[in-house]
Chains A and B, each alone.
Chain A
Amino acid sequence: MYSEKVMDHFQHPRNVGEIENASGVGTVGNAKCGDIMRMFLDIDENGIIRDVKFKTFGCGAAVATSSMATELVKGKSIQEALQVTNKAVMEALDGLPPVKVHCSLLAEEAIHAALWDYAQKNGIEIEGLSKPKSDISEGEEEEEY
């Protein structure tokens, strides 16, 4: 059901992990629908994304879209990163099954959420970036296990 590229990114996800003291961190999705993505950005003084890492709870497509999204924004400027849409992620993965399209939307939102966090921390405004709606860290408290 998945393309070879999706399977490749699922089996060998790029940029998995965390960045300590990241310039921006964004978490989107929720456990209820089965997908959570967290993206860490390290942005230098020129506004270039020096490094990016992710962690994802979700299906094969969720992992693959997160991985591809990190590849697409790494080394890019903030404005370039904003151009990485869910469509771009899907195309780069040679497509997704229709029921998995929401995973690519989540990847786009994760980038936006991390950029938003960066803007907040630095008291700046990024043109074309509005407050992401599905950042779970400011929503309900996560439940204890």
Chain B
Amino acid sequence: MIYLDNAATTRTAPEVVEAMLPYFTENYGNPSTIYSLGSASKKAINQARKTIADSLGANMEEIYFTAGGSESDNWAIKAAAEAYASKGKHIITSKIEHHAVLHTCQYLEKHGYEVTYLDVDRNGIVDPEQLKAAIRPDTILITIMFANNEIGTIEPIAEIGAIAKEHGILFHTDAVQAFGQVPINVDEMHIDMLSSSAHKLNGPKGIGFLYIRKGVKIRSFIHGGAQERSRRAGTENVTGIVGYGAAVELAMKTMEERTRKEIELRDYLIHRLETEIDHCWLNGDRVKRLPNNVNFSFLFIEGESMLIMLDMKGICASSGSACTSGSLDPSHVLLAIGLKHEEAHGSLRLTLSADNTREELDFVVDSIKEIVARLRSMSPLYEDYLKKRTI
């Protein structure tokens, strides 16, 4: 099997599993108890919290564990909207956010909030000037993703953060794809809230965190006990938190070497695809791009068909076609960067890890060439194109 869907989820690192194991069977105490078994859990949680805080240039007290990226996004946006409602009810986001952000914004629109969805350019980049122009006296929150999950484009977060700070507006970023892939410093980038999820960086599933800058008044999301400074009740997911800590430690230690290798592999894959296959192109920015993301549109064919054929060759990938989204519309991200529907239907996302090899990628490229040729030979769109060309 060749796994090229690391933006969907990653393999839990063996070191991470190793770190988690004792907290299932030996140190299983509830961190809220006073006996030493409980203290061991408490200590482990705080150690993970410290590792994570350090990786962002944040303080331990600013890291709140959640069940993952979607919960963090929901919490940040809904709670900030509620807490700052007396100041205003206007939120600014972009058209290419993850659904955890977009659907939360749509929910708030039904409850009296106004949301501005910023356009992006052909590469998926938000224009800071457009952001400035969208700011109103009643704007209470700007939420822009750090890097896009489909096309890998990295947004000008430091610039956006500076604009938010200058206008005294809260700035949240969904960093689910970026954390562990690119260096992030919450102070330098003026980030007030940041969402993340462990399973995107070789940690376990079902655990994430929300960074909340000290002083930001944001309500509890889950009411109950005093866990997470009373802002997120419920007995801590100790094993998950320990695993997350271990994953972040590993990610920070390996970031430079790992991303260098990923970029090399990524650019090799991009080069082979765009030079060896006709009527295809790279989606997203070439430079401001996540180290592991490759996203192509292949004309005249449909993404799900490609995925099934790749799967038959043991290759795991993803697509922005409608058929993979369960609706009739293809990916909102690909439409927002200006692709036509049929161009978005023919998209293929390959997200690498440093464990992939050139040999694997060679096999993948050869497979894609074969699959694209086969599907085109069956495609009425390709037939029409060829006929038009000969006239």
Q: How far, in Å, is A61 (CB) from chain B's closest CB?
A: 8
B301 interface residue (CB < 8 Å to A)? yes
1/0 per residue B86-106: CB within 8 Å of A?
A: 000000000000000000000
The 8 A CB mask of A4-41 against B (1 = contact, 0 = none) is 00010011010010100000000100011111111000
The answer to whether residues A144 and B388 also contact, given A34-B322, A63-B305 and a CB cut-off of 8 A, is yes
Q: What are the residues of chain A within 8 A of B304 when measuring CB–CB?
A: 59-60
Majority secondary structure, B binding face = helix
> A34 and B383: CB pair below 8 A?
no
Given contacts A57-B381, A142-B384, are A34 and B321 in contact (CB under 8 A)?
A: yes
If the complex has contacts A56-B379, A145-B279, A145-B385, are A10 and B308 also in contact, measured as CB distance less than 8 A?
yes
Please give the number of chain B residues whose Cβ is less than 8 angstroms from any Cβ of chain A in the complex.
31
A34 touches B379 (CB 8 A): no
Q: Enumerate chain B residues within 8 angstroms of A35, measured Cβ to Cβ.
A: 302
Known contacts A31-B342, A31-B345, A32-B342; is A59 also within 8 Å of B321 by CB? yes
Having A59-B304, A99-B323, one finds 18 other A-B pairs with CB under 8 Å, namely A10-B305, A16-B378, A18-B383, A27-B380, A31-B341, A32-B341, A33-B322, A34-B302, A34-B322, A34-B328, A34-B341, A36-B380, A55-B383, A57-B378, A57-B380, A59-B302, A62-B302, A99-B327
- Chain A residues contacting B330 (CB-CB under 8 Å) are 34
User: Of the candidates A33, A38, A100, which one forms a contact with B380 in the assembled complex, judged by CB atoms under 8 Å apart?
Assistant: A38
Q: Mark B356-391 against chain A: 1 for CB-CB distance below 8 A, else 0.
A: 000000000000000000000111111111001000
B: which residues have CB within 8 A of A?
279, 299-305, 308, 312, 321-323, 326-328, 330, 340-342, 345, 377-385, 388
In the complex, which residues of chain A have a beta carbon less than 8 angstroms from the beta carbon of B378? 13, 16, 55-57, 63
Kindly list the 8 A-B residue pairs having the minimum CB-CB distance in the complex, ordered from nearest: A31-B342, A59-B323, A59-B304, A38-B380, A32-B341, A55-B380, A34-B345, A57-B379
Is A143 in contact with B340, judged by CB distance below 8 angstroms? yes
